[in-house]
A and B are shown apart, each in its own frame.
Chain A
Amino acid sequence: MSLLSELRTRARALFRRTTVERDMNDELRDFIERETAQLRANGLSHAEARRRALAGFGGLDRAREGMRDERGVRFLEDLGRDLRLGARNLARRPLFLGASAITLGLGVAVAASIFSVVSLLLLRPLDARDPGQLVAFGHNSRFLDGPSPSLSYPMVIELRKLDVFTDVFAQSNEEIAFADQGRDDARVHFGNAVTGNYFTMLGIAPAVGRFFTMAEEERRESVVVLSYQTWMTRYAGDPAVVGRSVTMNGHPVTIIGVTPANWHGIEHLVDAQFYYPIVMRQLLTGATTNALETQSSFLRVLARLAPGRTLQDARLQLDALAARIAPERGLKPGEFSFLSQYENRARPVIVISHMIPAIAGTFLALAVLALAIACVNVGNLVLARTLSRTSELAVRRSLGASRGRVLRQLLAESFLLGVSALLVAIPVAYGVVRWISSLKLSADIPLLIDVRLDWGVLFFAGGVAMLAGIVTGLVPALRGSSDRVAATLREDTRGATDSRRKRRLGAILLAGQLAFSLVLVIAGALFARSLGSVTSMDLGMDPDRVAMATVDLSLNRYQAPQAAEYFRRATEEISVLPGVEVVGTVRDMPMGFSQSFLRIEHIDKRPIGEAPSLSVQFNDISPSLMDVLRLRLLEGRAFDQFDDSTAPPRVLVNPQFAERLWPGEKHVVGRQFKFTSDPVPFEIVGVIAGVKAEFPTETPRPQVFRPYAQAGGLRRTILARVRGTPEEVVPAMGRVLRGLDPTVAIGDLRSTHEFLHNGKAFFLYRLGSTLTLAIGVLGLLQTLVGLYGVIAYGVSQRAQEFGIRVALGAARGQLVRQVMGPAAAQITVGSVVGIVVAGLTLPAAGAILAVSPRDPLTYALCTMGLVSLALIALYLPARRAAGAEPMRALRRD
């Protein structure tokens, strides 16, 4: 009863405020009328009666306030009033509001976007059951140049015997000519050949249809599971695809299901387009030997730890296993070892995952930096604002506003500021993340950058920034609201300048902010210059004005003689296309996804015995490739048409190969060596400058080039040097290749320039430099807006002072100098600090930069650029100060 009436009154007080106020006034008026009437009846005049009636209240307003207090909604009402007043206050100073909201919003957006990207690589678990229990593998052996991220199938069998894992699955990334039945438009698609326990072990459920199982693997049925993306783009999400037949490498296969939308396979930057049982692999590739029975390492392996077991337990068992199986592979114990790591720390692949913390750390540091700038910036603006409001606050205190009330007022404004900043931050962060996610790699491999905006981080960053604003605003506010009202009023009278101590805090904040953003800009510029130097780096070839296409005839189960005939005719027909100068072919396209290696057995007929591993990279080239890619002959001769299958085996090598096999010898032409795989030795006929095979920044490795006519091979990249632009020749090349056989799957049909610049080769650098530059520019923008805001605000506060000075005859140039002088000093200090901080911290990212992290030119240009922009940001308000109209300024209050 009582509670009900209580609620009713309060609700009424809140929502029917006008009615309640009118009732209150009616009631008071009624009382006064009655009292007046009674007093008049006692013989007083009307005026005197009314005066006394009113006096009985001891001030009507006090009664009103008392009644309002008793409504029990005082707190909420005040809050509403604080917010309304705060909004009005902020709206009245659009410069302050705009500068703070933009600078804070940008900082928060940058921090949240960076964090979202890092989270993709480091933090976000796979969308699988108990992802924290998944372990990734690799191995190292004396036969390898470096650790491998793969295992062979016999090794997987061994892993399955260990009791530390409940289950182990393997997958291999495969290129497949995928087509709907009855169509000839086969394209190379990327799929995962996976062991039958793949889906059950990951614990994911199909979007439609079903998944295959271990039993299916044993029955060797030809089935495929589509990725959600493929289902959507190729079949428009039609559930009827289940049961439909497609051809994979010309072989009929039945679609049985579709993966869920959030499943993208276990490779973090590649989106597998379909999944099929690994036992189908031999059927699809037409290989004569079953790769599952060989020692070749081509499988990516994940295992699930048994409940209660740790990675340490697993490593103990893996070490024991490695020691046991090493002798079976002709190795001594210690010459073979397993690599193992939790899945989320083995990204993107286990062998380079040790670099990821450095890269991610760099970016996280940038995120913190951006947020720090935002905080300093807003702190600075809020400080300037609060200082200028000290007298306003003091007046409010003296008019009876309680100290708590004044503080609440300031908190409400900080809160509103934070909300405005979030309104800026959310669209910016959302846009940045969308943009990063939409980055596409110009290659047949479906690149997947599945960045999702981390809302938690966004709001956390917003909260931190808001807190910074509140804290900075609170210090002076506490002083302003302290009981030294009179002193404050005296100190802060009209036109007087702030005390020196208050100004020093602002100066430090300004310099600090400038230093922060200089570090950011330098980091961005270093990345950008890295990209520049990487793209202009000597790759050992001239890729400009070259068109390319990759054809893998093994997908169509060609035999070697048919394939040789296909490539011969293709080369011939492409050579006569208009605009084509010369055509050549290569086995592994440089900077592509595949490289080939062979082990050396004999040098000059002498077995290498126990010498360190001699695994070298080899490639097969047609004689004309020298002209197409303009490879440089250093010694001896290049291949010609006589280096065919009837001639003795001959090779070209690079200087690194010569140095590795015959250290110190100048001339190696005529020397011989033998691979383990071939019965006869090879003779060196020439030395050419090698070609960068994988990444532009790789250190040159020993390379051997064999003539195609002696090697064969079913997969080649055809390259054509053209007179005009390669893009004009590319479609014609495609027509020729399909004309020879409509069922072939053509990959990477594009210009070589496109393949390199938008493909894998430069992608990491492009991504890195775009990201850092974007961050740097946002940071710079933040700083300039902040700088302009603070100075402009300061000038507007001192408008009267400047007006008086102009009236007293001060030269305008002198005023400009006076405004800019102290700020210029802060800019100098900030720049110096920024350079020092950058010089100390950026070398930590040295590993991922292609230029020196202390490159003087970059530092100088960035500093000069930042300082000039800062001076412009300063000059604009300074000029306004100097242009102060004396009369207007004086009349202002």
Chain B
Amino acid sequence: MVRCSLIVMLLSVNAFAVVAHAQGPIVGDVEGGELRAFPLAVPDTRLAATSQDKKGDAELLSRVMRGDLEMSGAFQLLDKKSFIDTDGLDSADVRFGDWRNVSAQGLVKTRLTLQGSDYLVEVFVYEVASGKQVLKKTLTLPSADVRSAGHAAADEVFRAFTGEPGVFRTRIAVVKKVQGEKHVFTMDIDGDNVRQVTRGGGLNLLPSWSPDGRAIVFTSYRYDNPDLFEIGSTGGESKPLSRRPGLNTGGRVSPDGGRIAVTLSQDGNSELYLLDRGGSVLKRLTNQWGIDTSPSWSPDGSQVAFVSSRSGHPDLFMLDVGSGATKRLTFKGTYNQTPAFSPRGTLIAFTARDEHNVFDIFTLNVSSGEIKRVTQGQGNNEEPSFSPNGRLLVFTTTRNKAKQLVISTVDGSKQTVLPSMGEHTSPSWGPFAR
């Protein structure tokens, strides 16, 4: 058996060698290229024969799915007017030539069937060039939550083409002003399905998710001092974590979920500390004359990026949690703040004030130190946070006067302002849905 396999392998190699020789010698390397959004056709969701009265839900599902895929920046959705969807759903019934003619490279078809109190969402995904079916999957979701079904279908499509999990069912925590108070809310990534998390306590600020997505750590002035609290991501009772004198702010739970990096000023100066999940101090991380604040964990939990004024103005620094060794990361600009480590650990997104006194979003390549600009000429843009797959950023913007949220690709090539009412600050992108 092994011998047979070897013979087959050798024959295959020889056959390829003959083909390669017939094609000609390799005379050069074509490397790189401009990144281009993948042209994708997403026709309207069809309804099963038994569910023809659910047209509104089918339209909503299509709209949510298309919005998600467009927002991801990975796809360029073809205008629905540019094609007529009259062929079948299964690969044998799809006329790929027609889809090639409208320049689609990918094709997504969906069908909705009501079954009891659930919706069955059938998702068919094709690569048009090869006519290959890359996904055929049926999702079962509560019929009362069509939007979730749309997000789930978009996640499946994203994974089918990229091999990476989609972030369309994740949620974003944000601070909103409500009747003179500020509270922590969570929302879907398209700005819909907003839920209030904190209640009472006046000012509730700087939310940050636990890695399992079950809890949110935040700072509250409910006892007239900026103290650190923890609350369930769907609300409930707040649990105090640190009520030391002075500042107890900017708490960030470590990737393993066991520790919290936080800024405390109990000794008179703002320094970084490491707390356990109960709030007890494990370690003092910094001890400098300058203000040290805004910690952000590297994905492996070995390092913390933070802001320090020890260089004379706010700059980004990196701290090795084990050894305590610190190194300066930014040498450009005079006001660099709010660092956010990417989930891949390769980039740090941050806010910086440029020479025109405008705050914009930048990324710093951790290994090379290269800084790239994400936003420019669109009001003030601040407080970035990475999506859990590292492909997107959320940040605040004043481009339409009131502070709104923007979902942006990491290079800023695709930016979507979320429609919202009122001021939104301090967004924190939650982990993958479990």
Chains A and B are bound partners: no
List B residues at the A interface (Cβ < 8 Å): none
